[in-house]
Structure 1
């Protein structure tokens, strides 16, 4: 009989389809780091969204054979330790493409059209006291039509962003990998993407290779009217460099749904009130009713497929 432990059930607010195989099910609303080992003792299958499963922990869980990640990113799991211990890992894929792409453009439009500062002007009574029929924004917006958006990463989500951008009449640049001296057909050299883009959108996964991928050098290349959007992972962007770029006017604004530590500490550099023109949302770009159901369905499919001996959506350890 399989013993299944769901470590952070609260993060999946949807009804799960019934499993067809014999099993014991234990779920916890949330699990703190010091509780993980005790809760997974004797488990054959673990389900996690963001609970960290370190190598030293996995080495001490001899019964564990399968981990199902409720989400796409697997940076919370030591994949080398999984391979060492014969533990298979599956994730969920393309389950929230629509909701994340909508969130990306929500941030773009809110920043581009100065919605937050204009709303603040209304709340403070500025328009009501004004003799003018309108209140001037901090700067006159550029039209999205004819502007250029640069995509960092080019998976399913990026392709959806590309189609939406084209619907707005935008030009799309797909970034070549950083450090390459020649661009593949359809790609643009890394440096040129930052030089030419009015908006840069981060859409790649967090790996050891992409950690700190965007930093001071990239912000220095960007136009003073350019925006950065990150709905991927916080660790991909050097947050201190981003704060400096905003404070010094190297770029015009940023919209981020992810931070390097979540929840962030009170003194997180991007939460400093002196950092201007930034919109931060609490890692919820993925959230919609459809995406939640997609997530639940794929989770159950992954569990069923593993037990049937035909595992699906396996996460491979990349060797470089």
Structure 2
């Protein structure tokens, strides 16, 4: 990084040793949401701002969150096998009451952190009829509405 003004990185650790060797560095850009791979204190001491790409995947991560939640909640492979094995059509009442069915409506949905992703998850959870509660690890303004 010697002689460069700007570094664009992702998934590479920039520790104090590396940052100190970057003699002309004016900006570190992380091509992701997290900045945990950057020694923030070392960058700050040298007056080098660290920027990330906020909100680039918030909606897709929230969508995956609910995809996984619904998968775990409803166990689609179980029902897929149940139908394909002919067990559904063999049942006298054409239904299956052997497993508990869970509905999200009316449940309490807890979220830790309310950045862009947490806020998107909250919106979807609310659309399912859940009561959304949250905890901010930073301890800042816990009375804020969860939509950013």
Taking structure 2 as the reference length, what is the TM-score of the superposition? 0.77
Task: Give secondary structure in 2 for the equivalent of 1:67.
Answer: strand
2:22 pairs with 1:61? yes
- Matches of 1:144 and 1:79, distance apart in 2: 40
Structure 1 counterpart of 2:121 = 161
2:130 pairs with 1:170? yes
2:5 pairs with 1:44? yes
Name the count of aligned residue pairs: 140
Q: Any idea what the Cα deviations from partners look like across 1:167-207, whole Å, max 9, x if unmatched?
A: 111111112549x8xx95479xxxxxxxxxxxxxxxxxxxx
**1:95 Cα shift?**
2.1
Pair 1:78–1:111, CA change in 2 (3 A) = same
- Matches of 1:186 and 1:176, distance apart in 2: 10
Q: Any idea what the Cα deviations from partners look like across 1:138-165, whole Å, max 9, x if unmatched?
A: 9423101111110101223222221211
2:45 pairs with 1:109? no
Contact 1:145 1:170 in 2 (8 A): yes
2:100 pairs with 1:147? no
Pair 1:138–1:68, CA change in 2 (3 A) = farther
2:40 pairs with 1:79? yes
- Matches of 1:53 and 1:41, distance apart in 2: 13
- Matches of 2:60 and 2:84, distance apart in 1: 36
Consecutive unaligned residues in structure 1, runs of 5 or more: 1-39, 188-320
Q: Any idea what the Cα deviations from partners look like across 1:52-88, whole Å, max 9, x if unmatched?
A: 1111111122122211111221001001111122322
- Matches of 2:33 and 2:57, distance apart in 1: 9
- Matches of 1:93 and 1:151, distance apart in 2: 19
Task: Give secondary structure in 2 for the equivalent of 1:94.
Answer: coil
Pair 1:144–1:79, CA change in 2 (3 A) = same
- Matches of 2:98 and 2:40, distance apart in 1: 47
Consecutive unaligned residues in structure 2, runs of 5 or more: none
After TM superposition, list the pairs within 5 Å mapping 1:133-282 onto structure 2: 133=89, 139-175=99-135, 177=137, 184-185=142-143
Task: Give secondary structure in 2 for the equivalent of 1:47.
Answer: strand
Contact 1:45 1:68 in 2 (8 A): yes
**1:118 Cα shift?**
2.4
- Matches of 2:130 and 2:34, distance apart in 1: 29
Q: Any idea what the Cα deviations from partners look like across 1:98-133, whole Å, max 9, x if unmatched?
A: 111111111111111112x427x63xxx75445443
Q: Any idea what the Cα deviations from partners look like across 1:193-251, whole Å, max 9, x if unmatched?
A: xxxxxxxxxxxxxxxxxxxxxxxxxxxxxxxxxxxxxxxxxxxxxxxxxxxxxxxxxxx
Task: Give secondary structure in 1 for the equivalent of 2:45.
Answer: helix
- Matches of 1:141 and 1:186, distance apart in 2: 34
